[in-house]
Amino acid sequence: MITILSGGTGTPKLLQGIKEIIDPTELTIIVNTLENDYFSGVYVSADIDTVLYTMSNQINDELWHGIKGDTFITNEQLEKIGAPELLRIGDKDRATKIQKTELMKKYSLSESVDIQAKKMGISSKIIPMSNEDSEIKIVTDIGELEFHDFLIKHQCQPEVLDVKFSNVSPSEGIIETINNSKAVIIGPSNPITSILPILSLEGVRDALKKTYVIAVSPIIGEDSVSGPASKFMKALNIEVSPFGVASLYEDFLDNIVIDEKDIDKIKDLKQIVNKVTITNTIMDNFKAKKNLAEIILKEVL
């Protein structure tokens, strides 16, 4: 069994490669739930839905959320009747979210995701990191903002001073899954808002210390490939570099995969990680995703 920790953009790109190489029944994906909340009357678990759509080949992989080729009739109608949405939810995507909202009246988030994954024909196990509601606040120069307000309404523009999130309990099976894994892959997801919330769950860091862990840096050079990761790292006084990423995982990390552009960082990284693997980590086409997946799996299988 291989386990991968995921957010909603960088790691799903890698999953598109991984799922073509290994038996999907041998893969478990633990997914961030920190930003989950209700929007337009439905429960939105953005990272989970992105993983569901990625594993069932439905993902809009230009935006990394929603279903490819979706329509926006409901979204446009809401706008017309004076109820514009903060999140632009497509019609098919909304159906997934309505179903999940209804399922959650009877089942936990984990059970609801299990049901949806089966209906989508996914044979990998997808585990939300927690079944509890969490809260995240971005402290900025214009005040404390909700995560999606910072991301969408303010387009990540304000200066970030701090990132605060609540602690939640791990969902059932997370620790056992890590303990039973041959290796854990930390995908190139936002280290602060996608990976740290998973690492903050009780028992996760200890379990990772006993397992082989390989992480892919979402930072190349001195910036993130996309999104606000570098802003969040700066705010928390973490060096924006593959070294800064590795320092967050230092207590359990066995191998870090960095981009070939960062070859000069090997010496520093070797002081805190046993092994540094160098390759192209920009996944801008399917071949690059598959190549990166092959290199990682060669290190762990």
Binding site for ligand GDP (CB under 6 A): 7-11, 13, 47, 188-190, 194, 216-218, 220, 224-227, 229, 281-283
> Is there a binding annotation on residue 49?
yes
Backbone angles phi and psi of 287, in degrees to 5: -60, -40
**Least distance in Å: CB of 77 to ligand GDP?**
27
Helix (H, G, I), strand (E, B) or coil at 246: helix
Rounded Cα–Cα distance for residues 186 and 120 (Å): 24
Helix (H, G, I), strand (E, B) or coil at 102: helix
Rounded Cα–Cα distance for residues 283 and 294 (Å): 13
**Least distance in Å: CB of 121 to ligand GDP?**
23
When the beta carbons of 11 and 181 are compared against ligand GDP, the nearer one is 11
Helix (H, G, I), strand (E, B) or coil at 11: helix
**Least distance in Å: CB of 190 to ligand GDP?**
3
**Least distance in Å: CB of 227 to ligand GDP?**
4
Task: Record the tokens describing residue 36, joined without a space.
Answer: 């989950």
Name which of 177, 173, 195, 178 is nearest 186 in CA terms. 195
Name which of 261, 248, 266, 290 is nearest 5 in CA terms. 248
Name which of 162, 273, 193, 202 is nearest 6 in CA terms. 193
> What count of other Cβ atoms lies within 10 Å of the Cβ of residue 110?
20
**Least distance in Å: CB of 206 to ligand GDP?**
23
Rounded Cα–Cα distance for residues 257 and 88 (Å): 34
Rounded Cα–Cα distance for residues 75 and 162 (Å): 33
**Least distance in Å: CB of 106 to ligand GDP?**
28
When the beta carbons of 99 and 279 are compared against ligand GDP, the nearer one is 279
When the beta carbons of 25 and 157 are compared against ligand GDP, the nearer one is 157
**Least distance in Å: CB of 188 to ligand GDP?**
3
When the beta carbons of 74 and 290 are compared against ligand GDP, the nearer one is 290
When the beta carbons of 49 and 254 are compared against ligand GDP, the nearer one is 49
When the beta carbons of 217 and 255 are compared against ligand GDP, the nearer one is 217
When the beta carbons of 172 and 294 are compared against ligand GDP, the nearer one is 294
Rounded Cα–Cα distance for residues 156 and 160 (Å): 9
Rounded Cα–Cα distance for residues 215 and 242 (Å): 10
Annotated binding residues, written as ranges, equal 49, 88
